[in-house]
Amino acid sequence: MSTTTLRIDESLRERIARLAGALDQTPHSFMVEALAQKVDEAEWRLGVQREAQQRDAALQAGEPGVEWHEMKTYLHSRIAAANGKATGRAASKVKRR
């Protein structure tokens, strides 16, 4: 394991120490966990962006896509299934004044 030095302002350092103590962690373990979460998030975001660019390039090259009405029907069925409904539209009704 290597060592890295971070220069952080005093107020952030105090916040980290306070939160780490409240979570029964050392400031070091709190920062390592926070950095690992941020790296995971950045890798996921870049993967999504890469996939979106690939899909866009495929559509621009003429590959078939999914029509919006088909996707809307699919999404409604997924919501209905998640809500325990076998069929029907899953949109919630909002009372209007």
**Residues 3-8: what's their mean pLDDT?**
93
Domain contains 54: yes
> For 15-68, how does the pLDDT look when each residue is reduced to its tens digit (9 = 90+)?
999 999 999 999 999 999 999 999 999 999 999 999 999 999 999 999 999 999
Residue 84 lies in a domain: no
Residue at 42 is within a domain: yes
Per-residue confidence band for 92, with pLDDT thresholds at 50, 70 and 90: low
- Residue 16 falls inside a structural domain: yes
pLDDT value of residue 1: 87
pTM, 2 dp? 0.64
Q: Which range of residues forms the domain containing residue 28?
A: 10-65
- Residue 86: pLDDT band (50, 70, 90) is low
Q: What are the tokens at 60?
A: 């621009």
What are the tokens at 53? 């660019």
Among positive and negative, which fits the CA dihedral 27, 29, 35, 41? negative
Tokens of 54: 């690939």
Q: Using CA atoms, how far apart are residues 52 and 58, in angstroms rounded to an integer? A: 10
